[in-house]
A and B are shown apart, each in its own frame.
Chain A
Amino acid sequence: MNKTAVKGRRSLAQFFCLTPYSLWATLFIVVPLLFVAYYALTDNNYHFTTANLTRFFTATSSVGDTEVRTYLVIFFRSLRLAVISTIICFLMGYPIAYIIARAPAKTQSILITLIMIPMWMNFLIRTYAWMTILQDTGILNGLLAKLHLGPVHIIGTEGAVIIGMVYDYFPYMILPIYSVMAKLDNRLLEAARDLGCNGFGVLRRVIFPLSLPGVISGINMVLVPSISTFYISQKLGNGKFYLIGDAIEGQYVANNLHFAAAIALILMVILLVCMALLQRLANSRSAV
Chain B
Amino acid sequence: MKKIIELKNISKSFDGEKVLDNICLDIYDNEFITLLGPSGCGKTTTLRIIGGFETPDTGDVFFMGDRINDLPAHKRNVNTVFQRYALFPHLNVYENIAFPLREKKEKRDVIDQKVREVLDLVALKGFEKRSVTSLSGGQQQRVAIARAIINRPKVLLLDEPLAALDLKLRKDMQQELKNLQKATGITFIFVTHDQEEALSMSDTVVVMSEGRIQQIGTPVDIYNEPQNAFVADFIGESNILDGLMLADRLVAFSGQKFPCLDSGFDKREPVDVVIRPEDVDIVPEDKGMLKGVVTSVTFLGVHYEIIVDIDGFKWMIQTTDFVDVDEHIGIYLEPDAIHVMKKSEYSGLYGDYSSFSNEFDELELPPEDWKEDESAE
> A196's contact among B53, B131, B151, by CB below 8 Å, is which?
B151
Decide yes or no whether A205 CB sits under 8 A from chain B: yes
Nearest CB on A from B76, distance (A): 8
Which B residues from 147 to 169 make CB contacts under 8 A with A? Answer: 147-148, 151
Query: Are B74 and A194 neighbours in the complex by a CB distance under 8 Å?
Result: yes
Q: How far, in angstroms, from A201 to B100 measured CA to CA in the complex?
A: 11
Please determine whether A187 and B84 come into contact, CB atoms closer than 8 angstroms: yes
Given A185-B86, A195-B151, A196-B103: 8 more A-B contacts, CB < 8 Å: A186-B377, A188-B88, A191-B80, A193-B53, A193-B72, A193-B73, A197-B103, A205-B103
CB neighbors of A among B90-139 (8 A): 90-92, 95, 99-100, 102-104, 131
Q: Is the CB of B51 within 8 A of A194?
A: yes
Q: Is the CB of B79 within 8 A of A194?
A: yes
- A257: CB under 8 A from chain B? no
Whether B295 sits at the interface, judged by CB under 8 Å, is: no
CB distance from A145 to the nearest CB of B (A): 49
- Nearest to A209 among chain B residues (CB) is B90
The total of chain A residues at the interface (CB under 8 A) is 22
Q: Which residues of A contact B214 (CB under 8 A)?
A: none
20 sample A-B contacts, Cβ–Cβ < 8 Å, listed by A number: A186-B377, A187-B86, A188-B88, A191-B80, A192-B99, A193-B53, A193-B73, A195-B74, A195-B99, A195-B147, A195-B148, A196-B103, A205-B99, A205-B103, A206-B88, A210-B88, A210-B89, A285-B90, A288-B92, A288-B95
A61 at the interface (CB under 8 A from B): no
Given contacts A195-B99, A196-B74, A197-B74, contact A187 B91 (CB under 8 A): no
| B82 lies within 8 A of A191 (CB) | yes
Q: Closest CB of chain B to A252's CB: distance in Å?
A: 45
Most buried by A among B79, B95, B103: B103
Q: Is the CB of B74 within 8 A of A288?
A: no
Q: Mark A157-186, 1 if CB is under 8 A from B, else 0.
A: 000000000000000000000000000011
Instruction: State the Cβ distance, B5 to closest chain A Cβ, in Å.
Output: 16
Q: A279 to nearest B CB, angstroms?
A: 16
Compute how far the CA of A201 lies from the CA of B151 in the bound complex, rounded to whole angstroms.
17
A186-B377, A187-B83, A190-B73 known; A195 vs B90 contact (CB < 8 Å): no
- Known interface pairs A195-B99, A205-B99, A210-B89. Does A187 touch B74 (Cβ–Cβ under 8 Å)? no
CA distance A201 to B86 in the complex (A): 17
Determine whether A19 belongs to the interface, using a CB cutoff of 8 Å to chain B: no
Find the A residue at minimum CB distance from B153.
A194
* A193 close to B74 (CB less than 8 A): yes
CA distance A60 to B131 in the complex (A): 53
Contacts of A186 in B (CB 8 A): 377
Residue of B53, B74, B99, B100 ringed by the most chain A CB atoms within 10 A: B74
Closest 7 CB pairs of A and B: A187-B86, A195-B100, A191-B86, A196-B103, A193-B73, A209-B90, A194-B80
Q: Determine whether the beta carbon of B103 is less than 8 Å from that of A195.
A: yes
* Chain A residues whose C-beta falls within 8 Å of the C-beta of B86 in the assembled complex: 185, 187-188, 190-191
Asked if A286 and B103 make an inter-chain contact with CB atoms under 8 angstroms apart, the answer reads no
CA distance A98 to B51 in the complex (A): 25
CA distance A197 to B104 in the complex (A): 9
**Considering residues A186, A195, A287, which has the most beta carbons from chain B within 10 angstroms of its beta carbon?**
A195
Residues A194 and B73 in contact, CB atoms below 8 Å apart: yes
Question: In the complex, are the beta carbons of B90 and A286 less than 8 A apart?
Answer: yes
Within 8 A of B (CB), among A196-211: 196-198, 201, 205-206, 209-210
Most B Cβ at <10 Å: residue of A185, A192, A210 = A192
**CA–CA, A187 and B159, complex, Å:** 12
Smallest beta-carbon distance B9→chain A, Å: 25
Whether B103 contacts A191 by the Cβ 8 Å rule is no
In whole Å, how far is A216's beta carbon from the nearest beta carbon of chain B? Answer: 14
List B contacts of A193 (CB < 8 A): 52-53, 72-74
In the complex, A185 Cα to B147 Cα: how many Å?
18
Greatest chain B CB density within 10 A among A194, A201, A288 is at: A194
